[in-house]
Structure 1
Amino acid sequence: MPRAAKEFPDLQSFIRLLEERGELIRVSAPVSRELEITEIADRMVKKGGPAVLFENVRGSEFPLVIGLMNTRERTALSLGVGDLDDLARKVRDLIDLKGAGGVAGMLGQLPKLRDAMNLPPRRVRNAPVQEVVWRGDEVDLSKIPVLKCWPEDGGPFVTLPLVMTRDPETREWNMGMYRMQVMSKNTTGMHWQRHKTGTRHLEKAKRLGQKLEVAVAIGGDPALIYAATAPLPPVPGLNELILAGYLRGQRYPVVRALTVDIDVPANAEFILEGYVDPQEDWVTEGPFGDHTGFYTLPDLYPLFHVTAVTMRKNPVYPATIVGRPPMEDAYLIEASERLFLPAAQLILPEIVDFHMPPAGVAHNLMVVSIKKTYPGQAYKVANGLLGLGQNMFAKVIVVVDEDFPLTDFGAVWREVAQKAVPGRDTLLTRGPIDVLDHSSRGWGFGGKLIIDATTKRPEEVGSGVSSREEQAHDVLPAGATSPTLGGQLRQIFAPATELPTFEGVVAQRQTPDGYWFVSLRKTRAGQARALAETFAAHPAAQGVRHLLICDEETDVQDAGDVWWTVLNNVDPERDCWTLGTGSGVGLLAWDGARKLPEEGFVRDWPRKIVMDEAVRNRVDALWHVWGLPEQWR
């Protein structure tokens, strides 16, 4: 018999589970929702620390929990799987439901069909999330402990909202996660980007002359929180409630909202009900310290009017923070990798695996391993991925051989240096770009780079020389070692005193893997290109395959910081150039410095996210007052 709605997995049961496992700390002393919680949570996630339940948030009667999924193991636990790889197996079973043929095939699929019968959500009459109701003037979002995460944020932001709408024509239900800036006691921004389903629903409502009803769940089953971020496989009828129910092995409980015609999760902590009026002027939202590690600059977005709030009797407000990687979203991204892999393999069966490293903040970098059987296959796969769902936003795709360890970030770039000759094995193209990308030539449109780091076939090298012989020729010195993310590397090509100097260079370093890192204070148009040409002609460039030019805030001793900066700051078609060196080896220069108006860049360039020093000092001073363990400080 199905469990009652209140017995279905929810946020508070997951909190209890983490506490039983020693993976959650309670803080009873007062703490500020403005910056202090962010600084604590940032330290915890960077060191793999526990989740934290703040029981006394200043200005609110509700406790706040953060860091629920800030490790790979905790994310798997939240989704009800032993390991994130189990998620791929579950989704592959779900997709295989389409493959049954004839009576015999159907009989063979009966166990899966029984599972599938549990997928549709079930409506309940009484729901914990409707135990307390605020209506009209009672609505006051300031009573909920919404965080101001970073110093330059435009205000407090709801960071884990499950935003639900219905198509005004088809009535199809949709859920997505879109940040919400609190504008007043009863309004928020609604960050619906141009590619999102919420935007399409709003456009339809405007065409029909209607307001668009909206409901926002906060909290609930962690599997549903994840599902709101997930790139669902292209299975007809599959939505976020069905995915969460499938992960739990039972139908997801929903209840009709009180004032809008939308089914909402019965086990959420809070529900915000209201509408967006498409005839209303959009409002300025932002800045916001975003998942890229940079501030997203202010822009115009729709205004959400909250007309009712329902909640549990004793709700807990869940939050997350985003910013410089690694952050909690890195593990949600990893879960999405496992979710998307079976669907990608259905269309591109030569794919063995893929990974989006934290330094690439999701769309900026994808590394794909393939079982290669013919020349040009790496480009076929990369272009195919660019046509699949949210992969259309990928900026740099690196393709490697099937047995390559994708999660070894340093080894990826060593493989690139060894097997990808700039110009010959690199391909520049263009297409849709994430609207949060600040470096693209246009809003949501920019360049892309495909790097073929697979073992080459004779047809791909343009000569009778075998691929291994050609790739070993004049590339890297024997015995060179691979860097690790953030590791310290020794210089082997030239001492720092012998490296070329150039206007604006703050620091530089060569690695034993064929990379040259440069920190540049850019003051004039064309400065990075001139630097690249000067460096390429210098004798010290021998054996270097990649010149990475960063801004002056980048630590060239930290490979992770370099790649994070460069991947954020390049439009590859505009900013990546293949140059010849004195030794005849091609060099790929990446201009990851900021772009200037004099270079035709008309948008403002955002700042990197940095916490105020005063806040860091205050958190240091209060760490033991809050009872937090020294090891996570």
Structure 2
Amino acid sequence: MFRNLKAYLEALEARGELRRVPVPVDAELEIAEIADRMVKKGGPALLFERVRGKDFPVAIGLFGTRDRTAFALGVRDLDELAERVQTLLALEPGKGGLSALLKLLPKLGDLRGFFPKRVRRAPVQEVVHRGEAVDLTRLPVLKTWPLDGGPFFTLPLVITKDPETGELNLGMYRMQLLDQKSTAMHWQLHKVGRKHYEKARRMGRRLEVAVAFGGDPVLTYAATAPLPPLPGVSEFHLAGFLRRAPIELARGVTVDLPVPAEAEFVLEGYVDPQEPLVEEGPFGDHTGFYTPVDLYPRFHVTALTHRQSAVYPATLVGPPPMEDAYLIEASERLFLPAARLVLPEVEDYHMPPEGVAHNWVNLRIRKEYPGQAYKAAMGLLGLGQMMFAKVVLVTEGRVRPGFAALLEALPHLLPGRDTLFVRGPMDVLDHSSRSFAYGGKLILDATRKLPEEGGEAPFTPRAHPDLPQDPEVQAQRQYPGLWLVALRKERPHQAWEVAERLLTAPQSEGIRLLLLADWDTGLEPHTFLWVLLNNIDPERDGRVLRGASGPVLVLDGTRKLPEEGFHRVWPEKAVMSPEVKARVDARWAEYGL
């Protein structure tokens, strides 16, 4: 446990996991490019001590590796999170009499700190700016990608209260800086903050909002966690459970909301549902693509409070791997025991970074009867934010990293028989779904097949050294059982025409999965899979075609055209500009990194 952000930074520095950058840097793009390079190579967290034109330093990369995330959450390894939750779920106070009750006592220590603690004095309120004194532009809010609509707050802990029940919610929703006293509030369709907003709108009243930055990094994690709706339980309780000490909360100076006493900054204010929505975006999001301009509520800031020597925490999202991958893994581990309670056959699951959370879930089960893979996958799709999962790969072996898991699955996966397309809710950030927040999903049953399921289909995966030449194929590569193809798309349905030609070649023998993407994707497997998973609506873009040795599952991960039934804007990848890259290259020695 860390009392606050500065305690965490000091601990990271003592471990050699924090580097200070003493020279002036820009909040617009420069910090993001430096941070991206560091997280991609598993480097340390960074503290930018001098940000041009701003009043505060910036800390970034706080969760930049798996080990650092575990350290931030107070565990030796992220798997320990599952162990702690499993211990709690084993509590059975109604069974076994006095002896059983005595056995529970050591476990009850895990609940120490579960309930927040109210305090009167808060370090985050050492400096208070109200009304006209509020100036958000003095904060080092980062612009992280060239086409972003402006600077965005990327680690905000957004606090609201249900207008009807009074239940608190702590969530993380990006906020675009609009002017000195207001931001956009990115409350997506399925988020709890959006539900509070809609209730306030129906009741004809404003919704008070407080936004904190910093504090114990456990609290920052808790704001990202997909906590199921439990009466009387908020993310403050989850943070207290994880840190084994209560989160200290003080009353806001202009809002009737609790704020984390040990935070670095707090923005207080309101959202008025009667006001017109404001344009927000574009934004280079965690998908690695830009989300387009859309309409969201305006957050009016009535007070800005902060510590005397505050540090502004930020993160960077974009093409994987990014540090959000480790926060996602923490949630995997934390909620695994609860998933097992509902789905007893589940042994483990993993969301590979290539899937940027919801696009790909590897699920390992203990199989006992026919059809169980589909039962488990559909059950998983019914659990909270798992409803957004796009591709679910079900296996019985170890849960392996993404690409390796796919190769190991192919001998047990007969396309057509062992593939199932369904439809359901999609993340609103998914740009490829057939319509907004609704699209296709794909379940891949790579478990051993029982006689009732048709038994195992003999198959020897192959990769051929010499591949067929096709005038529309820019690059291609085979792995045992899998074929990656990049093409320059110029007309509707071109990918299917290319796929059908390639599958008539002898080199399609021993192939069960053919994946197609645009020419600029490259053939590095992890990047290829990241782009493809972002670019498919599985039901629309998946077909089973015939190859030299049997059925082949083909997925079209190219950009979709209006003639193919896609009428929204197809987004660009989040890519840093050459000018910023060159500037960072030239200054790298100055940074001392």
TM tier, shorter chain?
A: over 0.9
Give the deviation of 1:234 after TM superposition.
Answer: 5.8
Residue correspondence of structure 1 range 219-368 to structure 2 within 5 A? 219-233=214-228, 235-368=230-363
Partner of 2:562: 597
Residues 325, 358 of structure 1: 8 Å contact kept: yes
Q: 1:94 to 1:259 in 2, by over 3 A?
A: farther
Residues 73, 83 of structure 1: 8 Å contact kept: yes
Partner of 1:421: 414
Give the deviation of 1:107 after TM superposition.
Answer: 4.6
Give the deviation of 1:623 after TM superposition.
Answer: 0.7
Partner of 1:608: 573
Which ranges of 4 or more aligned residues in structure 1 deviate by more than 6 Å? none
- Out of 461, 470, 479, the position equivalent to 1:476 is 461
**Is residue 495 from structure 1 mapped to residue 466 from structure 2 by the alignment?**
yes
CA–CA distance in 1 between the matches of 2:451 and 2:477?
Answer: 35
Partner of 1:377: 372
Give the deviation of 1:89 after TM superposition.
Answer: 1.3
Paired amino acid for 2:543:
W
Paired amino acid for 1:456:
K
CA–CA distance in 2 between the matches of 1:175 and 1:347?
Answer: 25
Percent of residue pairs bearing the same amino acid type: 59
Q: 1:233 to 1:279 in 2, by over 3 A?
A: closer
Residues 290, 572 of structure 2: 8 Å contact kept: yes
Listed one character per residue, the Cα deviations across residues 86-121 of structure 1 (whole Å, up to 9, x for unaligned) are 111122233444764475455543333454353110
Partner of 1:624: 589
Partner of 2:502: 535
- Out of 36, 59, 64, the position equivalent to 2:58 is 64
Give the deviation of 1:460 after TM superposition.
Answer: 1.0
**Is residue 48 from structure 1 mapped to residue 42 from structure 2 by the alignment?**
yes
Partner of 2:78: 84
- Corresponding residue SS for 1:608: coil
Residues 417, 545 of structure 1: 8 Å contact kept: yes
Partner of 2:68: 74
- Out of 465, 473, 477, the position equivalent to 1:509 is 477
Partner of 2:107: 112
Give the deviation of 1:514 after TM superposition.
Answer: 1.2
Partner of 2:538: 572
- Corresponding residue SS for 1:375: coil
Residues 100, 109 of structure 1: 8 Å contact kept: no
Partner of 2:547: 581
Partner of 1:448: 441
Partner of 2:197: 202
Give the deviation of 1:592 after TM superposition.
Answer: 0.1
Residues 220, 267 of structure 1: 8 Å contact kept: yes
Residues 72, 331 of structure 1: 8 Å contact kept: yes
- Corresponding residue SS for 1:561: helix
Paired amino acid for 2:466:
P
Q: 1:622 to 1:117 in 2, by over 3 A?
A: closer
CA–CA distance in 2 between the matches of 1:614 and 1:244?
Answer: 41
Give the deviation of 1:532 after TM superposition.
Answer: 1.7
CA–CA distance in 1 between the matches of 2:502 and 2:478?
Answer: 12
Listed one character per residue, the Cα deviations across residues 553-582 of structure 1 (whole Å, up to 9, x for unaligned) are 1112x0111111110000000001001123
Q: 1:250 to 1:624 in 2, by over 3 A?
A: same
- Out of 391, 394, 409, the position equivalent to 2:389 is 394
Give the deviation of 1:502 after TM superposition.
Answer: 4.3
Residues 287, 297 of structure 1: 8 Å contact kept: yes
Residue correspondence of structure 1 range 82-231 to structure 2 within 5 A? 82-97=76-91, 100-101=94-95, 103-104=97-98, 105-113=100-108, 115-116=110-111, 118-231=113-226
Paired amino acid for 2:460:
V
Residues 255, 268 of structure 2: 8 Å contact kept: yes
CA–CA distance in 2 between the matches of 1:265 and 1:71?
Answer: 26
Q: 1:81 to 1:117 in 2, by over 3 A?
A: closer
Listed one character per residue, the Cα deviations across residues 187-223 of structure 1 (whole Å, up to 9, x for unaligned) are 1010000100011101111111100000000111100
Listed one character per residue, the Cα deviations across residues 293-333 of structure 1 (whole Å, up to 9, x for unaligned) are 11111111111001100111100000000001000001001
Paired amino acid for 2:115:
P
Give the deviation of 1:251 after TM superposition.
Answer: 1.6
Partner of 2:450: 457
Residues 167, 232 of structure 2: 8 Å contact kept: no
CA–CA distance in 1 between the matches of 2:465 and 2:591?
Answer: 49
- Corresponding residue SS for 2:589: coil
Residues 475, 487 of structure 2: 8 Å contact kept: yes
Partner of 1:484: none
Give the deviation of 1:507 after TM superposition.
Answer: 1.4
Where in structure 2 are there 5+ consecutive unaligned residues?
Answer: none
Residues 394, 433 of structure 1: 8 Å contact kept: yes
Give the deviation of 1:541 after TM superposition.
Answer: 1.2
- Corresponding residue SS for 2:514: strand
- Corresponding residue SS for 2:304: strand
